[in-house]
Structure 1
């Protein structure tokens, strides 16, 4: 799976805010965009969503800016990715409704505000669009791979990925 730039920039924004020398100091979108050499307008949309999701808080007015609204150890990477990615389907057939009406993998991993349990099985996804779908085992393999991917991300927090904060700060 390849993450979108949206998720990449969301992660980078949180990393930037987490490694600032003073955690309560405010940062601004222009500085973040300049540090990473990314679009300010695109970053503005991402910062807005991160604020709506409760990851960051913004202070308006002169001298305003943004900062993390919670400790980095409370920001789960898997949960963040579920909020910022719109499509977890590696194959098109994984989006098709299941014959029995049960939820697809996409609906189980989609943009939820809570971390779903990882007791989903690869058999949860049965698609109908492909002629071999009723007997195809490939979609089960990819469903299992996606579940494993998300499960690994669920095991990490922002604090884990900024354990080298001093080194990261040198590059920002």
Structure 2
């Protein structure tokens, strides 16, 4: 099972933005940190904004920040929204031309595996994968803002 680069970048973007808390993060900052295409990341960010995960602030001093708390971003839901389809094999598609289609049990087994994969992701939130935020911030060269008391 493999996620697309789109989902990978979406997850990494959310991690980066969450570590910066309420500070705005630019597409350039995120792209440069992960050494990924700014153009591709722009598409990812637009989808994250349109799906309500990020707030996009326009303008010279604009950027991205989480729109909802990290503990409300369920990883399974995010992956379902980012993946264009979850067709593991041809027989998952409507226009399947496999000769075994009507007699093969493989599609059912693979669908069960896919559901189990997503069920595990459904048990975790963005906050769960940020439990080691200091280490993540160090690796990404991010200064975590201190929370005012």
Q: TM-score, normalised by structure 2?
A: 0.89
- What is the 5 A alignment of 1:98-117? none
- What is the 5 A alignment of 1:111-130? 129-130=97-98
- What is the 5 A alignment of 1:130-169? 130-169=98-137
* 1:112 aligned partner: none
CA contact (8 A) 2:90 2:98 kept: no
CA contact (8 A) 1:73 1:160 kept: yes
Pairwise CA RMSD: 1.3
Alpha-carbon shift at residue 131 of structure 1 (Å): 2.8
Q: Deviations over 1:125-167 (max 9, x none)?
A: xxx6333322211111111101111111111100011111110
Alpha-carbon shift at residue 3 of structure 1 (Å): 0.6
* 2:86 aligned partner: 88
Secondary structure in structure 2 of the residue aligned to 1:158:
coil
Q: TM-score, normalised by structure 1?
A: 0.77
Moved over 2 A (4+): 128-135
CA contact (8 A) 2:10 2:48 kept: yes
Contiguous gaps of at least 5 residues in structure 2: 141-149
- What is the 5 A alignment of 1:70-89? 70-89=68-87
Q: Which has the higher contact order (CA 8 A, sep 6+)?
A: 2
* 1:15 aligned partner: 15
Contiguous gaps of at least 5 residues in structure 1: 98-127
CA contact (8 A) 1:96 1:129 kept: no
Secondary structure in structure 2 of the residue aligned to 1:58:
strand
What is the total number of aligned residue pairs between the two structures? 140
* 1:55 aligned partner: 53
